[in-house]
Structure 1
Amino acid sequence: MVLDPRLVLVLFISTCILAINGGTDPNDVASLKVMYQSMNSPTQLNWNGDDPCGQSWQGITCSGNRVTEIKLPGRTLAGSLGYQLEPMTSVTNLDLSNNNLGGTIPYQLPPNLQYLNLANNNFNGQIPYSLSDKTSLIVLNLGHNQLQQGINVDFQKLSSLTTLDLSFNSLTGDLPQTLSSLSGINTMYLQNNQFTGTIDVLANLPLNTLNVENNHFTGWIPEQLKSITLLKDGNAWSSGPAPPPPPGTPPVTTRSRNHKSGSDNTSDGDSNDGGGKKSGIGGGGIAGIVISILVVGAIVAFFLVKRRSKKSFNDVEKFDNQPLAPHPSNDVHEINSMQTSSVIDLKKFDTPVAPISLKPPPFDRHKSFDEDEFSKKPPVVVNRPTTVKKTVTAPANIKSYSIADLQIATGSFSVDQLLGEGSFGRVYRAQFDDGKVLAVKKIDSSVLPNDLSEDFVELISNISHLHHPNVTELVGYCSEHGQHLLVYEFHKNGSLHDFLHLPDEFSKPLIWNSRVKIALGIARALEYLHEVCSPSVVHKNIKSPNILLDSDLNPHLSDSGLASYIPNANQILNNNAGSGYEAPEVGLSGHYTLKSDVYSFGVVMLELLSGRKPFDSSRPRSEQALVRWATPQLHDIDALAKMVDPALEGLYPVKSLSRFADVIALCVQPEPEFRPPMSEVVQALVRLVQRTNMSKRTFGTDQGGTNRGGDEQETQDM
């Protein structure tokens, strides 16, 4: 039988197409296999082979050779999700609801998710901050789990979100202000949590359905929400009439239940009168007249009260101890505060008074403090800004120092006590009368001007919550005469930079065990900042000068949280770029992320391995940039041996060195999406320590004459 040549050609082309499309993308295959193992390899799924798309794995939907949906609801799945879902860039629907999955929700999720349903499982911990970047999300359902802490998501980019379900968890704290950015939201379930504060942030959302039952909400229910399907029982709502809105606030318009996002027909409220009658003055006009009368009456009453008697100290304290400049809108607020006491929701109005601005003489960051620099001047009363910040008080567990205290302890901030100078200011050694030694960071006035004292108090409050064995502890502060200083615990062995690059006759090189120990300690510090803190803290300034070593060579990450809370920190750090620590994307955009921290940490690891500076202009041009020079050699064992710090004198386990280099290679990848989260880095370094049989010949004596022969056990216990 002779086959038609045309039929042969068609069969050949079809075979080629099948061959091209038959194999599932390797990234998707690898991610699904990690997920399968993390779920304890459930036999009911029958995921066999290496081609989920070609072999039609249960619950997997594909388009071409890419996985687009993972839908496995109600399959009695257990275990966890693992940490390898981010490479699945085509997945838009992830539904694992009604199972027995537990652990934390992974930070790495498919980047282009539209539908995420993890409801009715046993997930715990906090909501991952990475959801803030899932700009395609339409439905997010995390209800009926065991999630804790506050809502750790920035909703500003989630304008496509229509349904949010966080019900039946143990979430706490106030609702984040960024919820007001959900311009497409129509359904929200927050019931059966432990939320506090008001629901004012939800007032102007285009909601059709809202359930906030069984929480600890307070305040009044916004008028805008009374026309929608609202379930609100089980809260401590305020009784009685709500306080009048601030002067100038437009009258509240009642929304139709069938409203759509972005539409707000204000004329309906005027025309839809049951009897078809219209008055000459609309409801909005009457409200305006009433508000005007209240405003005028309140102002008159205020000045009458002020003329009758002088305020006592306690009265003044209510106004933040500030001399007041007359301002009608704020005066009304102050009278309302006195009349209704704690009933008024202060968050709605913010704090009515700005701080006094003390204007000291111009401050030269290159001079030490002297008496003239802190000569007292009469306070200057400034007009209150239109937008006034919420008052923040420094935490009670952080000690307040005076300028005089710190001047005495640092010898008037003499050069002899200077420990170093970073992006935000100089650090001095301070010895107090009781013998305690601390480190004092004097923040440059160019970094935090004297009129940002409230920002400084907020910064202190935020940093004071950071507690981790590998994070330098804040113990005090000073804010006087427009100067801002932070007081930290002191670590006598100085910085990792000094240990590696400024050896002196009294110091000895760090042995291999100590280098691994330092890397693991800093990895744990970053894991804490990125994945435990809520919200996550991006350090932005990971470098060896900011890694301090105590007497046992345990590492402590300094400046944690500082760059996150200084208003213009990004600009300051970008101006100091070129050190070799910054990730490629930071140089292009100027923005710092968790993944840029991972890159900088990889550079520090490379510094530990090679003993070289991240950028060294004294070397040949091809070797000046450490990452560019070292990266091609990280997987070549012969080249790697030549890269190792000569100070180690070959005393290191080869396998340990190779695994250390593998972690570096992952962290310094140019594409941020491929860098691992710090929890994975910690796990890799812990495995490295556990698997490596440290040879006795690697043990030696470290700084201070301490015999480090016990390093093996100490390192393995980390």
Structure 2
Amino acid sequence: MCLTAPNRRRVETSTMGDRHSAQPCSVTLFLIEFVLLGLVFAALPRISGTTDASDGFQALQVMYTSVNSPPQLTNWKSSGGDPCGESWKGVTCEGTAVVAIEVSGLGLSGTTGYLLSDLLSLRKFDLSDNSFHDTIPYQLPPNLTSLNLARNNFSGNFPYSISTMVSLNYLNVSHNSLSESIGDIFATLGSLATLDLSLNNFSGDIPASFSSLSNLSALYVQNNQLTGSLNALTGLPLTTLNVANNHFSGWIPRELSSVHTFIYDGNSFDNGPAPPPPPYNPPPPGRPSRNHSGPGTRPQRTDGKSSESKKGLTVGALVGIIVGSVFVALILLLALFFCIRKNKREGSVARPSSGGLSVGTNNVNTEMQEQRVKSASAVTDLKPPPAEILVVDRLHGKNGSIKRIKSPITATPYTVATLQTATNSFSQEFLVGEGSLGRVYRAEFPNGKMMAIKKIDNAALSLQEEDNFLEAVSNMSRLRHPNIVTLVGYCAEHGQRLLVYEYIGNGSLHDILHFAEDGTNTLTWNARVRVALGTARALEYLHEVCLPSVVHRNFKSANILLDEELNAHLSDCGLAALTPNTERQVSTQMVGSFGYSAPEFALSGVYTVKSDVYSFGVVMLELLTGRKPLDSARARSEQSLVRWATPQLHDIDALAKMVDPSLNGMYPAKSLSRFADIIALCVQPEPEFRPPMSEVVQALVRLVQRASMVKRRSSDESGFAYRTPDHEAIDMSF
């Protein structure tokens, strides 16, 4: 039996009590036991969940040691220290209680430690996008509302202790190596709203306890080895359900046809609508029979009810049938009466012909056919989001996609007068940039809030399509990702169209790379890798999480904004929907003139997610070399960054000479080589050979992990020299 620290204290207390009663009571022994008991009672606030300055701190110290004390966990300590008073990275406190641990995407590896159950006040626990391995800890923080372990290397199966987390609202263990059956442990998790088990190796049937998840709105179990039916899901309030690429069979329950986003391809379901449940019901036991004594009339019930009760049921059934028939007849008479009155009001001169009746019948048949189509339809596949997904109306698309009701706009509407006041009538002093669709202004509101206003140029966009603008605003406002600039408001008034974004105040990547003359804003190598990883995650979200995929179309370093901590935020996401298709030449100049456009776009105007991948590779080249994509001031052979750099990406000596001189050789040589290999994959001329962004993200995550390991092993700057004699082959097996 495994005991936690509080349980061990209780065992020691009871043992002392027994020893005390078994031996003579001397004064010295009494004083010792009195002191020890006082210490036990002093620890009781921790046992009862009333936190103090040391509540759960030991669990954090053990966790820090278990992940090999990485430097990215700034201010953490393996002994001593105060997580709340010293602002340990990723740790949030309320008073002296640790309520959240969020260390997503920090390149952590190792295990989580064995004292997590001591974190009694912890509500949010996010270890996603790291390399934690081994099994999920058996004893987890018991009072969590959100648990995110996605994109790690956890193996084994679900710990049973999850069944005790009655406050759990969000659970994500996707993209791991969990196996065996899911486990029938969900009966007490009535608060769970989102459950993501996708991309693991779970097998067996869906647990029967899933039927107890009365608040579950989103369930993702795609890409596992699950079998059986979906019957356990029929009574749940689901709005999103993804069961694709498993081994489910049988009929898809009719109840699931009403789920807003339902993805089920890649299974072995029977074709057509499910039969009515149940297909054949036996006649009720009280139904009269013509041959009561025949062998075929042997009663099916064994409940011991007498024949008199059966007769009573028969009489009741007859009375019900008679009353029901009378009621139906009255309804029909009333309907006929109202139809006659309606025809009279409409001034009908002639009696309705059979042709008029056939029109109505056709309408009814058409509606019934539409209903049948809706029942058997599903939307195309998508990967689960770490955040909210984008759903756009579609009609009879791939895999029977069906038309959805348009989503309302979640962004805040602003008036022109309000935005004029906040920007001093869009004065020059508030101008912060200019894009393809118009200028961007800094806005200062009376409450002290600062925003960025994109004032769309009337010449860049047709003002006759108001609905298209509002639909684009609706879709953009639903893009939710930490590396994407959030659209918080809009204005469509008096012929003006403006977009209100969160304000990112540290400038763009383009300005920092190319216009930092004093050198104070020079990005370190680690910062550049983090920028690449952040923007890669933003594109991964747009391409592989949103439905349908969102193509950026204008990906460049000027659209990557950096905050005070140099975190990347991709701007102008979704703006491509506002660019008219007739403006191909303008659009080609917009992207191509800056050297970011993929070959297929420059030649034919065709732009896809793979074109975004190419543009991302160009930005990575900017990060590596510090050069602009096109620079007419350089020698002719070096004006195009891609043409100049691509042949040298696999030559270690040439690569060392390409590196941005402002780095002064301060980077890990192996990290540089792996970075260059990712670039080479992204800027390939053939779109089909470029990797998806999810694979680019994983490659960059591995690069960050290896770089941090090199830094921890280095006691001086020798690990950052750009020349190493033993250049090894790079493992880029996506």
TM-score by length of 1: 0.47
* Larger Rg, first or second structure (1 or 2): 2
